[in-house]
Amino acid sequence: MTNRLLQGFRALDMTDEKGFVCGKVLAAMGVDVIKVERPGGDSSRNIPPFVDNDPDPEKCLLWLIYNTDKRGITLNLETAKGQDLFKELVKVSDFIIESFTPGYLESIGLDYDALSRLNRRIIMTSLTPFGQKGPYSRFKGGELIASAMSGVLLSNGYADRAPVKEALDANYFHANGAAVLGSVMAHYHREATGEGQQVDVSAQEVSASRNTNNILPYLFDKRMLKRSGDCQWLGLNPARWIWECKDGYVWHNLMGGKVGAPANRALSQWMDEDGIENPLREIKDWNTFDRSTVTMEEKTVREKAIAEFFLRHTKKELDTEGRRRGINAAVANTPDEVVEHPQLKARNYWVELEHAELGRSMQYPGHFFLSTETTTKIQRRAPLVGEHNKAVYQELLGLSDSEVEELKDNGVI
């Protein structure tokens, strides 16, 4: 199977580390994504950690992980010659993905309006902290700021401390997913009409769009939820979601109604078999259990008993025996446990990519989704600095060897 969903289309990827994932996903769908770096390589290549803990721009993990399947060229966009070359590339491309501060591309004559005059089919996806227009549009941003400004951060963490961020770059990962969706949506329109457009993605707004749990209580009741650490607000009270077990943590909560009933019964029965205090036993009909009406007293008594139960068991027990019994708990895997996870192995999730220049290979997460008709797995490691200069400039723009050499000598590429 060699078909790809978006085979035959080309993207120029001008993003910094905040926008790598969008092009990665498009590339996994078969788009020929060309990462455009400044001569010498992007500064994002200096972000730690590095392979073998060696701070070499070719060993930046973030670069390697999120630029798979892309080709790489260098190009100085601040020279007239560089801008001309870029415009020539735009004429033979379908997408541009960029994450510059709004206004920057206009200042070098490469904004959407200018480029669409060269290629009316071009789609420019702009992923920025706050969007292209509006009072904050030129503010600097990033993961922590997107999370803060979207309202998502405030309710995350303990009441006795500052709010605490989600793991890694969660908000920007989501914003990249939204940028993929916007790009593909615009592509569908373009293929029907021949008409490209700009897609304007705001990381703040993307995060705010999943903040329903905080927005609705304010919209309807002028109520603001409090941070509650290992608890989740569902309905009118917080319910505990994270539990310490013998050797780590698990996620579990009592779901309501028929959906939660079998698991709640199974947990109660296991607690009985353990011979510990079990206030869940008093709930006779789990089918009508409504988690939004649980009182604080009921919650305190039940959660104390459930906490004691989880502390008696290991992650392994809660995973194997817990799944057999169907208590609907999930072990909080550590990163190494993810790598060993039998489900991912069974689905051939991991892909081994060769890094000849590093003298090793590395195992990567292989797909975002699977398809019966098309290949969606990653296939090629991220590009080295300027690795495909010759191939791209010769194949796409028809430059000769000596012309490419001259560009190199003049610092354009």
Report the site for another protein in 360-399 (rule: CB under 8 A). Answer: 362-365, 367-374
Cα separation of 37 and 71, whole Å?
A: 11
Residue 243 makes CB contacts below 8 A (sequence gap 6+) with 230, 249, 250, 251, 252, 306, 307, 310, 329
Query: Are the beta carbons of 279 and 301 closer than 8 angstroms?
Result: yes
Minimum CB separation of residue 247 from another protein in Å reads: 12
CB of 377 closer than 8 Å to CB of 367: yes
> Shortest distance, CB of residue 390 to another protein, whole angstroms?
29
Nearest to another protein of 114, 154 (CB atom): 154
Among 2, 296, 343, 398, binds another protein (CB under 8 A): 343
Q: Within positions 223 to 262, which residues make up the interface with another protein, using CB under 8 A?
A: 223-225, 227-236, 241-242, 244, 248-251, 253, 255-259
Q: State how beta strands 95-98 and 10-13 pair.
A: parallel
| Residue ranges in 56-85 that form contacts with another protein under rule CB under 8 A | 61-62, 64-65
In this structure, what are the phi and psi dihedrals at residue 212, rounded to the nearest 5 degrees? -50, -40
Range 274-293, binding another protein (CB under 8 A): 290-293
Q: Give least dist CB 265 to another protein, A.
A: 13
Minimum separation from the CB atom of position 403 to another protein (A): 35
CB of 401: closest distance to another protein in angstroms? 36
Show the site string, 165-204: x = touches another protein by CB under 8 A, - = not.
xxxxxx--xx--xxxxxxxxxxxxx-x---x-xxxxxx-x
Enumerate residues 111-130 that contact another protein by CB under 8 A: 130
Residues in region 15-34 near another protein by CB under 8 A = 21, 25, 29
Nearest to 389 by CA among 410, 409, 404: 404
Q: Using CA atoms, how far apart are residues 106 and 104, in angstroms rounded to an integer?
A: 5
- CB-nearer residue toward another protein: 275 or 342: 342
Closer CB to another protein, 135 or 275, in the complex = 135
How near is the Cβ of 230 to another protein at its closest, in Å? 6
SS3 250: strand
Q: Which two tokens stand for residue 365?
A: 């997460």
Contact between 4 and 27 (Cβ < 8 Å): no
- In whole angstroms, what is the distance from residue 222 CA to residue 236 CA? 13
Q: Whose structure tokens read 């999370």?
A: 147
Contacts of residue 151, Cβ cutoff 8 Å, sequence gap at least 6: 207, 208, 211, 214, 215
Q: Which of 296, 346, 359, 398 binds another protein (CB under 8 A)?
A: 346
Q: Does 266 bind another protein (CB under 8 A)?
A: no
Positions 293 through 332 that interact with another protein (CB under 8 A): 293, 323, 326, 328, 330-332
Residue 249 vs 299, nearer CB to another protein: 249
Residue 278 DSSP class: -
